Amino acid sequence: MTQNSPIVSVYIPTYNRSDLLKRAINSVLEQTVKDVEIIVVDDNSPDDTPQVMAELMAIYPQLKYFRNSENQGACYNRNLAIRNATGRFVTGLDDDDYFLPNRLESFLTAWETKSPNAIALFDNVKIKKSEHDMESLSCPKSVDFDCLCLRNDVGNQIFAERSLFSDGVEYDEKLKSWQDLELWMHILSVNKNKCFQNIEKYTYIFDKSHPHERISSVNVDKHLNSFNYIKAKHALNGKNEYRLKCQAYGYNARSINPITLLVDACKSQSLYVVLRMSKYYLKNNKGM
**What digits encode the pLDDT tens for the residues 71-90?**
999 999 999 999 999 999 99
Structural domains counted in the chain: 2
Are the beta carbons of 186 and 174 closer than 8 angstroms?
no
Structural domain boundaries enclosing 78: 8-207
What pLDDT is stored for residue 283 in this prediction? 57
Are the beta carbons of 7 and 35 closer than 8 angstroms?
yes
pLDDT in tens, 99-145: 999 999 999 999 999 999 999 999 998 887 777 777 878 889 999 99
The candidate with the shortest Cα–Cα distance to 30, out of 93, 79, 102, 81, is 102
| Residue 158 in domain | yes
Taking the complete model, does pTM exceed 0.95, yes or no? no
d(CA 243, CA 249): 10
Q: Which of 159, 185, 207 is where one domain is finished?
A: 207
- The values of phi and psi at residue 41, to 5°, are -115, 115
| Residue 212 in domain | no
Are the beta carbons of 196 and 92 closer than 8 angstroms?
no
Query: Are residues 52 and 23 part of one domain?
Result: yes
Query: Has residue 266 got a pLDDT over 80?
Result: no
